[in-house]
Amino acid sequence: MLRVVTIDEASRELEERFSNLPLTTETVPLLEGFGRYLAAPVISHGAVPPFSRSTKDGYAVRAVETAGAGETMPALFALLPAVEMGKGYDHEIGPGQAAYVPTGGMIPPGADGVVMIEYSEDLNVNEIALSRPCALGENIIFQGQDMKQDQEILSSGHRLTASDLGAVAACGNDTVVVYKRPRLALFSSGDELRLTGEELGPGCIRDINTVTVAAEAVKMGFDVVKTAILKDDPGVFLSALEEAREEADIIIVSGGSSAGKKDYTSSTFDAMGGEGTFVHGIAFNPGKPTILANCDGFPLVGLPGHPVSAWMVFRIIGAAFIRLFHRTGESLAPQIEASLGENLHAAPGRDTFKPVMITKQPGGEYEARPVPGDSGMITLLSQAQGYIHIPRGTEGIIKGTLCRVYLL
């Protein structure tokens, strides 16, 4: 019989078996690191900023010499050559001396404060009057104040965002060490399925799961190395899966995951050796007939054949494997807060995930309504913008309640 577990139990069972999934690493140019997972911490190659810089247009001075300066009694300084952007500076600011420094320019040696240009008056080409005092370190960002040399900037397992890449560039790295993408072999099973582009004979329908799961998988960070349809034949199943095992890090099969006589997914997983099937069924709606199996440390997943279920289950199970492959924790799931436009009923005893449409109300708030039609309908896929999670043990959610909607 099916061994049915909750989502949390399924996660724990996966962690117990797959916390050491092997992935090789590679070094890629900075911009190619976008969306990839760090396989080593990012360490600053140098101090940031690399030299003390002015945060304002103004005059670099010895701050103590501006003490008491004011409009009626400005402090006078002899001008040294101006600091230029992108160049070194050969002079040292001595007593009674000042130098113009633009925003971002290098603070000359000897200076320890900057008076903004607004408080200066040119007396002649060699002399300047400053009418405000500055404190020690005022308008300066010191060498290494932002990041120190050899400081850890980002930790291993982190998924790189656009702004992260800026921080990585700032500290002198032009490459990042990332995990290779986990290679996914993806099958749909069923004699009636045809890939897009193939002719659709009598009794045949389009395969949808290789499309939705592949696209979702690429978004998550998988490398989809193979997609194919499996005929309902145990010999075909076994040879296809054993071949795929040589070129992939994980195999996912949709369909054939119930316990009917033509459902070969679980028996094939068992025939591949090792522990075999350890979960057969997750208390999840839509999507109960989900299989998790372990072939000597190689992960095998059976998704429901039903397109809405396959895609929903993959979003949960695929994300769990992304965490396991990259030895990282849960990421922040993009969501919006929306008020419920009608009552939602849950499936008893299961975690229920309800596809919803979202509309912006005149006041700027969002409203979510379940996509009409039953869960067998494909239009659910094209009309939903997100889904609401109703936890196990909750009967439903009342119209008007503010809910988290997870965005697609």
**Interacting positions 240-259 with its own copies (CB under 8 A):** none
* Among the listed residues 19, 27, 126, 161, the single contact to its own copies using CB under 8 A: 161
The piece of 2-10, 199-207, 235-243, 280-288 that touches its own copies (CB under 8 A) is 199-207
263: which 2 tokens?
A: 């459902």
- The answer to whether the beta carbons of residues 286 and 304 sit under 8 Å apart is yes
Residue indicated by tokens 């997972």: 37
Site residues for its own copies, 346-385, by CB under 8 A, read 358, 360, 366, 373, 376-379, 381-382, 384-385
* Among the listed residues 22, 197, 362, 363, the single contact to its own copies using CB under 8 A: 197
The reply on whether position 91 binds its own copies by CB under 8 A is no
Residue indicated by tokens 């095998």: 300
Residue 130 CA to residue 98 CA, distance in Å, equals: 10
Residue 202 CA to residue 225 CA, distance in Å, equals: 30
Shortest distance (Å) from residue 296 CB to its own copies: 31
Nearer to its own copies, 253 or 272 (CB): 253
* Among the listed residues 85, 123, 136, 259, the single contact to its own copies using CB under 8 A: 85
Give the 3-state secondary structure of residue 238.
helix
Nearer to its own copies, 35 or 396 (CB): 35
The 10 Å Cβ neighbour count of residue 168 is: 22
The reply on whether position 228 binds its own copies by CB under 8 A is no
Site residues for its own copies, 60-79, by CB under 8 A, read none
* Among the listed residues 12, 91, 262, 345, the single contact to its own copies using CB under 8 A: 262
Nearer to its own copies, 105 or 299 (CB): 105
The reply on whether position 344 binds its own copies by CB under 8 A is no
The reply on whether position 129 binds its own copies by CB under 8 A is no
Exposure string of 322-337, with b = 16+ CB inside 10 Å and e = fewer, is bbbbbebeeeeeeebe
- The answer to whether the beta carbons of residues 350 and 323 sit under 8 Å apart is no
The 10 Å Cβ neighbour count of residue 164 is: 18
* Among the listed residues 10, 14, 23, 48, the single contact to its own copies using CB under 8 A: 48
Q: What are the angstrom distances between the C-alpha of 202 and each of 189, 191, 228, 325, 375?
A: 18, 12, 20, 42, 24
Shortest distance (Å) from residue 274 CB to its own copies: 30
